[in-house]
Amino acid sequence: MRQEPSASAFVAVLGRDLRLAWRRRSDMVAAVLFFVIVASLFPLGSGAEPELLRHMAAGVIWVAALLASMLSLTRLFSDDHRDGSLEQLLLVPTPLPALVLAKALAHWLISGVPLVVIAPLLAVQYHVDAPAMLTLVGTLLLGTPILSLIGSVGSALVIGVRGAAVLLALLILPLYVPVLIFGSGAVRATMDGLSAEGHFSLLGAMLILALLLAPWAAAAALRIAYD
């Protein structure tokens, strides 16, 4: 791989991952269908009481989004590990955290953005009003990148490990809990007529921390895996 500036390498890795994801777009469709099916089953199983559905909407949609975003995490580094391209990424002069960030961004664009777009349609099933729906979209826009960044650390830790999917879930699900709490809490606060500003501030702070720390942690895990 030829030497190139960090920005060019970042764009190259991002574009490569997006092209590969488009060739395997069945994975993206599967994640979206999983999200839709999980979120749609709860109204069928819990009855059609509008107040009950409104009360559970935020938690159900956020849990469904969290689980859907995990479906493709195991392939974030494993495919590159198998074909040898990950080892080449470790050898280029571009800082590895920047390349990890590019892969995490590609994962979010593939698995996170479609969920944000579809979430308002699913919220209609739960009789969610317009202000709460806007809050839901806002929390997903802030929260789903955090899921991808944290997931990149977990994916790097389990690279080459047998039963990686189960181990990955055990590693990252506890770290996802604060995002789930503040994301769904913001929607419930809006429904109750309260301010969701505090929840958004905490999600924003977590996103900044994840952007600063997760790429370095994932890069360190990858280097350890190859040492």
Q: Are 117 and 32 in contact (CB under 8 A)?
A: no
pLDDT, average across residues 142-148: 94
Average pLDDT over the chain reads 87
Q: Are 18 and 109 in contact (CB under 8 A)?
A: yes
Quickly state the pLDDT bin for 149 (edges 50, 70, 90): very high
Interval 158-182: pLDDT, tens: 887 777 788 888 889 999 999 999 9
Residue of 153, 67, 75, 144 whose CA lies nearest to 108: 144
Strands (E), the chain: none
Range with the poorest average pLDDT among 3-17, 63-77, 112-126: 3-17
Residue 133, helix vs strand vs coil: helix
- Is the pLDDT at 82 greater than 90, yes or no? no
Instruction: Identify the pLDDT of residue 24.
Output: 81
Q: Is 127 left (phi over 0), alpha (psi -120 to 50) or beta?
A: left
pLDDT value at position 5? Answer: 59
42-56, 111-125, 126-140, 173-187, range with the lowest pLDDT: 42-56
Residue 139: what pLDDT? 95
Would you say 74 and 155 are in contact if contact means Cβ atoms under 8 Å apart?
yes
CB environment 36-73: b (16+ within 10 A), e (fewer): bebbeebbeeeeeeeeebbebbbbbbbbbbbbbbbbbb
* Residue range 8-61, pLDDT digits in tens: 888 888 898 888 888 887 878 888 999 999 888 887 777 667 788 888 888 999
Model confidence pLDDT, tens digit, residues 197-221: 999 999 999 999 999 999 999 999 9
Confidence band for 81, pLDDT divided at 50, 70 and 90 = confident
pLDDT at 2: 44
**Average pLDDT, integer, range 59-78:** 88
**Does residue 4 surpass a pLDDT of 80?**
no
What local confidence, expressed as pLDDT, does residue 60 receive?
A: 92
Strand, helix or coil for residue 126: coil
Tell me what pLDDT residue 47 has.
67
As a whole number, mean pLDDT of residues 130-153 equals: 94
